[in-house]
Amino acid sequence: MTKLSHLDDKDQPLMVDVGDKAVTRRTAKAEAIVNLTKAVMSQFDGKDIQGKKGPVFHTAILAGIQAAKKTSDLIPLCHPLPLTKCHLQIDTVDDERVLVRSEVVTDGKTGVEMEALSAVSGAALTLYDMCKAITKGITIENIRLVEKTGGKSDYAA
């Protein structure tokens, strides 16, 4: 059985020591599906949904970028990372759902998977928050890592 990297020999939590790792380009892509429902999507004008709090998709993208930047504040054992890129995109899937995608990059000693996942989570939660006045039936599904490069191993779903 593989030992969890965030536990010491006494099974106590620890922040992994990355001091001896090489600085490399690290990338990660993540995605989430948000079922906004037909009621919400009926207000989509082809570019965005205009809500009382402002443009919904644009605000969600900004929230996702902020979530990526604040990942180490949200996830206790994550290292704070200087991000060199954080890009979010929201595309319609059909008349009920949107796909939220993130791409995050750093030149560092540890990966940005958690930042990419935080980005889509923050954006998805913002979509919910801004649209919940229309319906509480919005669901967030399939938050997942799609790809990561750099470090010890690469990954593609």
Residues with a known catalytic role: 129
**How many separate helices (H) and strands (E) can be counted in the chain?**
4, 7
CB 36 within 8 A of CB 97: yes
Alpha carbon distances (Å) from 55 to 44, 93, 105, 130: 10, 19, 26, 9
Supply the DSSP string of 29-82, one letter for each residue.
Answer: EEEEEEE-HHHHHTTB-SS-BEETTEEHHHHHHHHHHHHHHTHHHHSTTPPP--
Helix (H), strand (E), coil (C) string for 113-130: HHHHHHHHHHHHHHHHHH
